[in-house]
Amino acid sequence: MRNSINRIIAGIALVWLGGSLNHLQAQSALDLRINEFLVYNDSNYVDDFGEHNPWIEIYNSAYNTVNIGGCYLTNDLNNPTMYYIPKGQNVTKIPQQGYLVFYADGHETRGIQHLNFSLEESKLIALFESNGKTLIDSITIPKGQKVDVTFGRIEDGSVVWDFLEKATPVANNQTKIKITSAEIIGQMDPTGIGMAVIAMTIVFSGLLLLYLFFKYMAKVWMRDRKKSKSITPDLLQVETETDEISGEVNAAIALALYLYRVQLHDTEAAVLTISKVSKTYSPWSSKIYGLRKNPR
């Protein structure tokens, strides 16, 4: 039984540890994605100088804030450390499910978000980790880029890329009306009866599984307990017989207790008890009456 419990605890600990490791991994720059970019900007998104320049949107797919500071952006895989994103800046902290735009205008002196290369002369975009070796994400710029039409992921962080109907810098790429699962279920079951039946089925199924689980664990516990005690029918019979004391045994015990109380005994192990026995008459002591004080 103890081994079974230890195995269960070990399994729970491994599951918890695995979940913790996945959570720690989600807090790294490896969850950043190149999400959208615009090569030819004529009348689209403007930078902090009021100019129309090519731009790149980085998306944080994690559920926590990730600092892109220390990473590198480049348009050449042979030069992964082309543009270093400085550390210790609030602007480089991308919130959960958030965005950050970099301007590929070739004017890095204008600020942290201005890169030292231009997309108009680039064939790809790549994001490298702070060690300058680990590739986080990359995208090859397809030919036929259109003016003021961005190229990005159909949904934020997804693997499908295409020209987007609307430019969405610092916003969700999905601009179409999307029917959620709840809305689909609502259309299929407007009264909610089906959902109620499903919910009750899940609840009672869970209770049944718990009952079967604890029943099985009880059987395992009883089996292990019997094995540990190693009780046989003969031993059970002996224990049953020894529990019943006959009258002769009770009488012997009572007699022994009585003799123990009335007999003389030493109250201490190191003390010897001596009782003096005196007699008023002895055949030897009567001889004194036949003797004279002065012999004749």
Query: What mean pLDDT is predicted for residues 46-75?
Result: 95
Q: How confident is the model at residue 84 (pLDDT cuts 50, 70, 90)?
A: very high
Residue 19: which pLDDT band, with cuts at 50, 70 and 90?
Answer: low
With cut-offs at 50, 70 and 90, classify the pLDDT of residue 261: confident
Q: Is pLDDT of 182 > 90? A: no
- Mean pLDDT is lowest, of 181-185, 232-236, 262-266, 276-280, for 232-236
Indicate the pLDDT class of residue 287, thresholds 50, 70 and 90.
low
Res. 290: pLDDT tops 50: yes
Q: Which of 84, 160, 60, 75 is nearest to 125 (CA)?
A: 75
Taking the C-alpha atoms of residue 108 and residue 35, their distance in angstroms, rounded to an integer, is 21
Share of the chain above pLDDT 70, in %: 73
Higher pLDDT, 277 or 73: 73
How does residue 174 score in pLDDT terms, banded at 50, 70 and 90? confident
| pLDDT tens digits along 114-148 | 999 999 989 999 999 999 999 999 999 999 999 99
**pLDDT tens digits for 102-113?**
999 999 999 999
The angle subtended at Cα 158 by Cα 153 and Cα 159, nearest 5°, is: 85
250 pLDDT tier (thresholds 50, 70, 90): confident
Report the pLDDT averaged over residues 93-101: 96
Residue 106, CB-side half-sphere exposure with 13 Å CA sphere: 7
CB 102 within 8 A of CB 114: yes
Phi first, then psi: give them for residue 99, nearest 5 degrees. -135, 155
User: Average model confidence (pLDDT) for the chain?
Assistant: 82
> Do residues 115 and 105 touch, judged by C-beta distance below 8 A?
yes
**Residue 74 burial (C-beta neighbours within 10 Å; 0-12, 13-18, 19+):** buried
Measured CA to CA, the distance from residue 223 to residue 4 in angstroms comes to 12
